[in-house]
């Protein structure tokens, strides 16, 4: 729409478009998955950070073994504790104990680095999938919106034709009563009238269906539809690799990282630990300090080969998915170009045919008034105009929709780019 010679896009259309993208459940879900994978990756960055554990508890027992071990841990023996009767029947012994320990990883053989790389690539893939979903949503929104606009125009044009036909029928009925017009011609025109009314009912149903689908995207009722048109002479942005293809490549890279990680899993690691244990006996000698520095090495893991084979199979599947995504984009691009060329060639032909029907109708109505044509001839031409109008409007919507789909196929369709295409 033009304001003072400057093209301005409706704020309602801009707001609906942005809300559709920002609130799309599938896109939000994919972004959340990307954030989850990113958080897991960042967690591996902290693998060398110390882990601190604290415990505290109370226990009571009259088991000789438990009581003896408790006294031993506290280093709080007395000579009376070794009397035979006391050893056999020590009585209930309670103790509050607490401990604090700290442990950490000093070195590992790189398995976690490859796990981190895999998580980073998967997070990147999810982000790219969200971008691809954004483009797909905009294509669907364009398709629904353009079809709704064209259906709305078709309904208005059809009602005008129906009203004009009904005026012709009123005149024909008067002439029929005077014996000037044949009853068969009036009956044929009435049949055309019913046919157009049926088509109107069909279009009203289609409009209701389109509005329901648009409401699903927007999340609210759709009011009046602002008229929009693609800018004339629109040139597509320079093509880039489609986000779905880039996402498939990132998944393949993640699968390769999984293969490497699975080969190094459970290999040599160097760890450290230190701990302090306290008891409520109050005896300073009862505190125990332990320190540990050592290595762990898995000499034989019977499941390692299975994990490697599973990771290799995952890599083959990811590589196949990448090839499929590349071929799908190429095929879709060729199909869209063929469809665009076909629609672009057909539309002028249909518009010319529509213009010729208008001329034919004007001439036929003149001949009808002269008595050289019947009302059935006029009605038949009006029906052909109705069908031609529907075809023309559908082709216009399809042509604009195909241009948007080509933008999406080029991998350049973001909401900001999308809003620059319209006027």
**pLDDT tens digits for range 116-167:** 999 999 999 999 999 999 999 999 999 999 999 999 999 999 999 999 989 8
> Which comes out higher in pLDDT, residue 346 or 228?
346
Q: What is the pLDDT of residue 329?
A: 93
> pLDDT at residue 1 above 50?
no
Same domain, 139 and 216: yes
Instruction: Check pLDDT > 60 for residue 281.
Output: no
Tokens of 259: 């293969």
Domain coverage including residue 129: 2-46+109-266+301-419
What percent of the chain lies above the pLDDT cut of 70?
80
Examine the domain organization and report whether 334 and 226 are in the same domain: yes
What average pLDDT score do residues 103-117 get?
84
| The two three-digit tokens of residue 355, written as one number | 């213009």
Final residue of a structural domain among 256, 283, 300? 300
pLDDT in tens, 205-215: 999 999 999 99
Q: How confident is the model at residue 73 (pLDDT cuts 50, 70, 90)?
A: low
pLDDT tens by residue, 198-207: 999 999 999 9
Q: Does 7 score more than 50 pLDDT?
A: no
Asked whether residue 227 carries a pLDDT value surpassing 50, the answer given is yes
Assess whether pLDDT exceeds 60 at residue 284: no
Average pLDDT, the chain: 84
**Residue 187's pLDDT band (cuts 50, 70, 90):** confident
Distance CA(304)–CA(300), nearest Å, equals 9
Return d(Cα 251, Cα 126) in angstroms, integer.
Answer: 9
> Which parts of 63-182 fold into alpha helices (H)?
64-74, 84-88, 111-177
Q: Does 156 lie in the same domain as 59?
A: no
Number of domains in the chain: 2
Residues 28 and 74 in one domain: no
Query: β-pairing, 51-61 with 6-7?
Result: unpaired
> What pLDDT, on the 0 to 100 scale, is given for residue 105?
81
Banded model confidence at residue 10, pLDDT cuts 50, 70, 90: confident
Among 8-22, 61-75, 337-351, which range has the highest average pLDDT? Answer: 337-351
Same domain, 209 and 162: yes
What is the pLDDT averaged over residues 173-201?
79
My answer on whether 260 and 341 are in the same domain is yes
Specify whether 222 is located in the same domain as 370: yes
Please check whether residues 58 and 27 belong to one and the same domain.
Answer: no
Instruction: Tell me which of 37-51, 223-237, 265-279, 372-386 is least confident.
Output: 265-279
Q: Do 205 and 244 lie in a common domain?
A: yes
Top-ranked range on mean pLDDT: pick from 2-11, 260-269, 293-302, 365-374: 365-374
Q: Are residues 142 and 18 in the same domain?
A: yes
pLDDT at position 102, please? 85
**Among 365, 381, 362, which Cα is nearest to 373's?**
365
CA-to-CA distance for 306 and 237, rounded, in angstroms?
47
Q: pTM value? A: 0.80
Same domain? For 99 and 134 the reply is no
Q: Are 167 and 29 found together in one domain?
A: yes
Provide the CATH number for the domain around residue 23.
Answer: 1.20.1600.10
């Amino acid at each position: 729409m033009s304001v003072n010679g400057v093209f301005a896009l409706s704020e309602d259309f801009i707001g609906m478009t942005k809300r559709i993208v920002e609130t799309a459940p599938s896109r939000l879900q994919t972004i959340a998955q990307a954030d989850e994978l990113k958080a897991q990756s960042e967690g591996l960055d902290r693998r060398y950070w110390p882990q601190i554990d604290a415990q505290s508890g109370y226990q009571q027992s009259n088991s000789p073994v438990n009581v003896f071990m408790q006294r031993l841990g506290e280093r709080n023996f007395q000579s009376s504790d070794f009397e035979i009767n006391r050893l056999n029947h020590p009585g209930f012994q309670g103790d509050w104990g607490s401990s604090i320990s700290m442990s950490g990883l000093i070195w590992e053989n790189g398995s976690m680095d490859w796990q981190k790389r895999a998580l980073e690539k998967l997070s990147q893939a999810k982000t790219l999938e969200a971008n691809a979903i954004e483009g797909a949503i905009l294509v669907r929104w364009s398709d629904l919106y353009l079809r709704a606009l064209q259906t709305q125009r078709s309904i208005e044009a059809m009602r005008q034709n129906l009203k004009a036909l009904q005026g012709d029928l009123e005149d024909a009925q008067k002439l029929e009563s005077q014996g000037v017009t044949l009853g068969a011609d009036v009956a044929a025109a009435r049949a055309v009238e019913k046919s157009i009314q049926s088509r109107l009912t069909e279009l009203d149903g289609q409009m209701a269906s389109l509005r329901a689908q648009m409401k699903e995207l927007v999340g609210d009722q759709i009011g009046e539809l602002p008229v929009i048109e693609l800018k004339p002479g629109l040139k597509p942005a320079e093509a880039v690799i489609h986000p779905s293809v880039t996402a498939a490549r990132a998944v393949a890279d993640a699968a390769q990282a999984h293969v490497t990680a699975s080969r190094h899993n459970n290999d040599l690691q160097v760890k450290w630990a230190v701990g302090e244990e306290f008891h409520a006996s109050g005896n300073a000698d009862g505190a125990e300090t332990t320190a540990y520095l050592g290595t762990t090495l898995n000499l034989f893991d019977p499941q390692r080969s299975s994990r490697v084979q599973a990771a290799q199979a995952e890599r083959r599947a990811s590589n196949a998915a990448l090839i499929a995504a590349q071929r799908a984009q190429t095929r879709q691009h060729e199909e869209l170009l063929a469809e665009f060329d076909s629609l672009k060639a057909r539309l002028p032909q249909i518009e010319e045919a529509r213009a010729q029907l208008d001329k034919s109708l004007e001439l036929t109505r003149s001949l009808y008034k002269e008595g050289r044509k019947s009302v059935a001839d006029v009605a038949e031409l009006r029906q052909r105009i109705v069908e031609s109008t529907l075809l023309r409007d559908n082709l216009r919507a399809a042509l604009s929709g195909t241009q948007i789909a080509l933008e999406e196929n080029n991998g350049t369709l973001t909401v900001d780019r999308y809003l620059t295409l319209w006027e």
